[in-house]
Amino acid sequence: MNEVHGFSVRIFIPSGNPEELRIVEKSNWTGLGLVFPRSLFPRVRQRPELKRAGVYVIWGPGEGGHLPRLYVGEGDPVLPRLEQHAKQKDFWTHAVAFTSKDQNLNKAHVQYLEARLVALAVEAKRAEVDNGNVPQLPALSDADAADAEAFLADLLLCLPLVGVNLFERARADAAKEVELFLKAKGISARGLDSSEGFIVRAGSQAVIEEVPSIHGFLSGLRKALVAQGVLVPDGKVYRLTQDYAFNSPSTAAGVLLGRNSNGRTQWKDANGRTLKQIQEEAIGQ
C-alpha cells in the first residue's frame, strides 16, 4: 500500500540570493542537490560535492521554445561531465546535480539513476530529451537496486521544489477532483483542474485544423505535442495518448480547439457548470 507522508526540505542559499546556488536536502535522505544557473558554474565548480559520484540534469529552452529541453547524465565524479557540457552544449541555462552526503553512491548507482531518469523523461513527454537513447540499466544486486530506487524516489520529490517538473507523468485523481468536459467543434475531451495544472485525460480529442488567428504559443505547443506523440491522428481529429498536464485550463482548451479560448468558461462539469462557476462557488463556501 502506497501512503503519502509529509516531509521537510531544507533549501540553503549560501549567497543569500535565491537566484544563485541553492543546496537542497530532504529529511531522512542521504542525498543533496545543487541547483544553479549556468552563469554561476565557474563558481559552483569549486564545490566539494561535485567531486563525488552523482547524477545531474541540465535544461533550458527547447528548439521551438514551447517545451523545455533537457539532458540527464552521470559522473564519478560529476564535475568533469559538467565542465564538458559547459564547453559543448549551448542550450542549457540551469543545472541540478545530486550526490550523496555519505558518499555511498558509486558508479553503478549513478548509472542506474541516469537510466531511470532518462526513461521517466521520455515517458512523461514534458520536455525535449537531448539524450540520444535511453541508457541500459546496469546490473545491480537486489539490495543495490532497492537503494538506488529509494534515492531516486527522494530525488523526484525534491525536483518540483526547485521548479523542475519534467519527469513525472500527469497523475489525475478523479476521486479528489471534479471531472470536467469540453465539447465543441466536433471534439470531446475530459479534464481535471489539479495542483499539477490542468490535466487533460488520455483519449480526449483535439481538432486538426487551427484557425489563422491562433496564438503562436498555442500553435507551437500543438506541433510540439504532435512531435512528442502526445497528440496522434485518429481519423478526422487528434487523440491524446496519455494524461497530460497543461499550465492552465485556457492553454488546454486552446490546444484542443486550435484557437484562443477561455478555459474557465469552456470546461464544464456534468451539470453544465463552468469551471469559473465551480471555482467561485468553492470560494464562497
- DSSP, collapsed to helix, strand or coil, labels residue 203 as coil
Whole-angstrom distance, CA of residue 232 vs CA of residue 244: 13
Whether the bond between 160 and the residue before it is cis, its omega within 30 degrees of 0, is no
Residues whose CB is less than 8 angstroms from the CB of residue 267 and which lie 6 or more positions away in sequence, other chains included: 180, 181, 182, 191, 193, 198, 249, 252, 253, 274, 275
Per-residue model confidence (pLDDT) at position 31 = 94
- DSSP, collapsed to helix, strand or coil, labels residue 58 as strand
Q: In this structure, how many other beta carbons lie within 10 angstroms of the beta carbon of residue 18?
A: 9
Per-residue model confidence (pLDDT) at position 1 = 40
Using CA atoms, how far residue 232 sits from 18, 87, 221, 222, 269, in Å, is 41, 37, 14, 11, 26
Across the chain, which has 285 residues, the per-10-residue mean pLDDT values are 76 94 93 96 95 96 86 96 96 96 90 97 94 89 94 94 90 74 96 91 97 94 95 96 95 97 95 93 76
Q: Read off the amino acid at residue 92.
A: W
- DSSP, collapsed to helix, strand or coil, labels residue 16 as coil
Domain boundaries along the sequence of the chain: 9-162, 180-284
pTM, two decimal places: 0.86
Per-residue model confidence (pLDDT) at position 128 = 93
Using CA atoms, how far residue 195 sits from 161, 176, 177, 214, in Å, is 13, 11, 10, 27
Contact criterion met (CB below 8 Å) for 121 and 72: yes
Contact criterion met (CB below 8 Å) for 52 and 77: yes
Cell numbers representing residue 38 in the block: 549556468
- DSSP, collapsed to helix, strand or coil, labels residue 77 as coil
Per-residue model confidence (pLDDT) at position 282 = 82
- Residue 221 CA to its chain's centroid (Å): 15
Contact criterion met (CB below 8 Å) for 82 and 97: yes
What is the bridge-based pairing of β-strands 94-100 and 54-61?
antiparallel
Per-residue model confidence (pLDDT) at position 258 = 97
